[in-house]
Amino acid sequence: MDSPLRTIIATTLIGAICAVLLVGVRGIVVASINRNLSIDEQRAILDALYVYDENGDPAASASAEKVEDLYNRYVEKIHGEPGLEQEFDVFRYIEDDVVNGTAIRVFGKGLWGEMRGFLALDPREAGVERWTVRGLVIYMDDETPGLGKRIRDKDFKERFRSAARKLVPGLQVLKGEGQAEGSLEVDGLTSATITGQGVQGMIDRAIEWYAQSDFILTGSKGVQ
C-alpha cells in the first residue's frame, strides 16, 4: 500500500474516532447540564413550598442528591406535560397524605428579559375567598445586579413567607420599600420598578388562572 493511501486511511480512522468521542462527550455534558437545571428547579419548588428535611433544615439548602430525594418523596406534579416547562404547571407538597401546599410555575418579564419562578400557596380555609402565600421564589432572571436581581435574595423572599400572612388575590407589590402595610401589600425593590411590575404580573396571572381551575381545588388528597 502506497504512502498517500495509508495517510488517507489513517486520517479517516482518526477523524471517525474523534467524531465518536465528541458525540459521547457532548452527550455526557448535555446530560449533566439537564440534571443541574432539573436540580435548580426542584430546589426552587422546595424553597417556595418551604419544605424541611428530617433534621428540620430547609430542603432548599441540601445537596443535589438530597434535593432529588426530598422532591421525589414530598412533591407531586399534578398539572402540566411531563418534561415541559409551561406556565401554570402545578406541584403539590404532600406529607403523610396531607396536602401542605401548592406551587404554581410562573413566568414574567423584567427589565431585561424573562423571569421564572414558583408561587406557593397554603391550602385555602373553608369559607375563605383568598389563599395565604406560602412562598415566592424566582430562580431565573436577567435583571440588574444589586437592583432587580435582588428578587432572588433571601430578604425579598422572606416578604412572601407564610409568617408574613400575605394574601391573594389582591396582593400588591409596591414600588419602593418600607411602605407595606397589612396582608395585601408587599414591599418592592428600590430603583427596580419594572422588575416589581413583572413580579406583580406573575402573581396576578397565576392566581387568576388558579382560581378558575376547579380540577385543582378538589382532589383525593384534600381541598386546595
| Amino acid at residue number 98 | V
Cα distance between residue 74 and residue 97, in whole Å:
10
Q: Closest Cα partner for 173 from 144, 207, 141? A: 207
pLDDT digits (tens, 9 = 90+) for 110-155: 999 999 999 999 988 767 789 999 999 999 999 999 999 999 999 9
Location of C-alpha cell 419562578: 117
CA 143 to chain centre: 16
Cα distance between residue 84 and residue 53, in whole Å:
27
Pairing of strands 185-186, 172-173: parallel
pLDDT digits (tens, 9 = 90+) for 148-195: 999 999 999 999 998 889 999 999 999 989 999 999 999 999 999 999
Length of the chain, in residues: 224
Q: Closest Cα partner for 99 from 35, 56, 51? A: 51
57: cell is 433544615
Cα distance between residue 136 and residue 192, in whole Å:
18
Give all strands (DSSP E) within the chain, no chain letters. Answer: 75-79, 90-95, 98-109, 114-121, 131-140, 167-168, 172-173, 185-186
Handedness of CA 131, 215, 207, 146 (dihedral sign): positive
- Phi and psi at 110, nearest 5°, equal -100, -155
DSSP 62: S
Location of C-alpha cell 441540601: 62
Predicted confidence (pLDDT) at residue 40 exceeds the cutoff of 60:
yes
The answer to whether the predicted template modeling score (pTM) of the entire model surpasses 0.75 is yes
